[in-house]
A and B are shown apart, each in its own frame.
Chain A
Amino acid sequence: MWRIGAFTLLIVALWFVENNYVLNLLVVIALQTMSALGLSLLMGYTGQISLGHAAFYGLGAYGSALISMRLGLNPWLSIFAATAIVAGIGWSLGWLVFRLRGHHLAMATLAFGVIVYVGFVELHDLTGGPNGLQDVPIFTVLGTFLDSDRLIYPLAWGACILTIVLAHNLVHSPKGLSMRSVAENERVAASLGQDVSALKRQILMLSAAWAAFAGGIWAHYLGYLSPNPFDVGFSIKLLVMVAIGGFANIWGVLFGVAFVTILGQLLKPFGFYDVVIYGLLLVIVMVFFPNGLLDGLVTLARSAVSGLRGARA
């Protein structure tokens, strides 16, 4: 718990940074962490795979934007409505896809992601097609528009830290142990009286809701939407973040998100080289550091230190 306190203090301190670029990057990290944490619960802690997580993020963003635009609902209400709807979609998707495992589950979730993306592009009347939606309502507090990085920052990080606390509590609860038992061996878990399918559905629902809420904040902060950020590439990017974080490691995932986001910014001047680096990173981490980059580097450093000591003695 002290970690969350210390982290919250750090985030509050960073709010006073006089640099919009840094603040913008931090807001992006907060929103992607929410989605990546949900994926980590599903993949790391429960042992399932999703290659369509960008769809939940996109459905949350488009859903909240459309509800506020078409029904005239305040964004503060539409974001909760959209999150509830996407949670329902996640739960019902669970009924369908968790009949499958392994490669088949991966493909079914990928199919879900592609179908939703094609929907965003092709349903012109609803989503505006490839041009997207303009003039999405912005959040307001007491008549002030939350239209700058500094003003959206408390909302994004408040939601993100709440997600971290929830994830932390969940994985340390009896439910968290059930999740791990399902990841280890489904049959054993089922024989001990776990309702494996129901548990998987609940986790998918939760992680869909977190991604959708983050997507909703994104939509009402940016003020416009286009389908591109919600393609399969974003699902893969979330996968890279969770893999670098070591799958079942909440702080590791936060590190993974920050690492990939900052790396993406550093590599921007080099054009397409970022794709090479992402691919290489994913392969190297998966082959050599299955518990994540942070864990792998710490282990390497420790063995180097003990090696030095051994050499002296």
Chain B
Amino acid sequence: MTDALQFLFAGLVIGSIYGLAGIGFTAVYNVTGVVNFAQGDFAMLGAMLAIAMMAVGTPMIVAIVLAIIVVALLGGVIERLAIRPASQTVIRGIIITIGLGVLLQGVAVVLWDSNPKSLPAFSGETPINVLGATLPPQSIWVVGTAVVLMVALHFFFQRSYLGKAFRACAVNPFAARLVGVRVPTMASISFMLSGALGAVAGIIVTPIALMQYDSGIGIGIKGFIACIIGGFGHPIGAAIGGLMLGVIEAFSAGYLSSGYKDAIAFILLLGFLFARPEGIMGEMEKAQH
């Protein structure tokens, strides 16, 4: 029983990260129709930047905020230079963002070599005991940050003027343009938002799981799987999908074998793609194009 609880907690922690990555995908996809395959590399880059700035003596909180801002700006630059000029067919969008991901990995490995790196935990290393399972304090930070961000984003999309403009672009970009929404500006902002979300996810998970130049691939792919489980284009679906995926992975790693962990995530993905491609919350039509 204690084992099960331990796996459940571990799953919720990693699931929060997948959920954040999934929401990053959703933000970009809803506005631009592009699935940003470099999403996970934003997470890697955020963590690496924070680590690099701390290494030259920047206080932790400053380094973290700066890293998030830099990755957000980079997201905007990428949208302007690589996404907007290319006419949007699905396959080209996929290949361009794969190329961007490879490029970011290349830059990271050239700047910071290929060794795994870590950040200090935000509030010490003393484990917390919950019903017989032990939790590092950082896991509270991860789940807490994820929950706060998800709730904040929900209100942003539902209540704020900008959030409503975002959703208008998702429903019908042409109609949104007719009523005065600047769709290209929204596309830029969506990439900046997903950059910031990615960077936050990468930074909060690094004290628990080490970060290296290619760690982003896994985060990105799992975030995408979270989106498909939850229903593509649904921020809440992505969050739920991420948590489900994290928990299932943690249990299969605990009870079966950690080597098969990745295969199980992908078998889950295939299962959803074939049995319920619209996900838990999505509509069928979205899965068909």
Contacts and interface: CB of A to CB of B under 8 A. Distances in A.
Give chain B's interface secondary structure class: helix
Contact of B104 (A121, A243, A279, A290): A279
B263 A119 contact: yes
Contacts of A16: none
A122 interface: yes
Interface in A108-124: 108, 110-112, 114-115, 118-119, 121-122
Interface residues on B, range: 35 or more
A273 B224 contact: no
Contacts of A280: 99, 103, 106
Given A103-B90, A108-B270, A118-B262, A243 B105 contact: no
A114 B107 CA distance: 25
Contacts of B109: 272, 275
Given A107-B228, A107-B273, A121-B259, A275 B90 contact: no
Interface string B80-104: 0010011100111011101111111
B100 to A, nearest CB: 6
Contacts of B289: 101-102
Contacts of B216: none
Nearest to B101: A279
B266 A104 contact: no
A104 B264 CA distance: 18
Contacts of B91: 43, 47, 49, 102
A71 to B, nearest CB: 27
A277 B259 CA distance: 32
A287 B228 contact: no
Nearest to B98: A236
B267 interface: yes
Contact of A122 (B92, B103, B257): B257
A171 to B, nearest CB: 18
Contact of B92 (A119, A121, A286): A286
A272 B85 contact: no
Contacts of A281: 99
A155 interface: no
Given A110-B221, A283-B100, A286-B86, A239 B106 contact: no
B287 A118 contact: no
A280 B107 CA distance: 10
Contact of A118 (B85, B106, B259): B259
B95 A111 contact: no
A100 interface: yes
Given A236-B98, A283-B100, A276 B107 contact: yes
A239 B266 contact: no
Contacts of A282: 95-96, 98-99, 102-103
Interface residues on A, range: 35 or more
Contacts of B263: 114-115, 118-119, 122
B196 to A, nearest CB: 22
A96 interface: yes
B274 interface: yes
B35 interface: yes
Nearest to B41: A279
Contacts of A279: 99-106
Contacts of B35: 103, 106
Contact of B103 (A101, A121, A276): A276
Contacts of A103: 35, 90, 94, 232
B115 interface: no
Nearest to B35: A103
A99 interface: yes
Interface string B58-98: 00000000000000000000000010011100111011101
B94 to A, nearest CB: 5
A266 B110 CA distance: 17
A118 B82 contact: no
Given A103-B90, A273-B106, A276-B106, A239 B95 contact: yes
A276 B105 CA distance: 7
Contacts of B287: 100, 104
Contacts of B160: none
A276 B277 CA distance: 35
A102 to B, nearest CB: 4
Max chain B C-beta neighbours (<10 A), residue from A232, A243, A281, A287? A287
Interface string B203-236: 0000000000000010001001100100010000
A112 B270 CA distance: 9
B110 A273 contact: yes
Contacts of B92: 286, 290
10 contacts: A99-B277, A102-B91, A104-B277, A107-B224, A114-B262, A118-B259, A275-B110, A276-B103, A287-B85, A290-B87
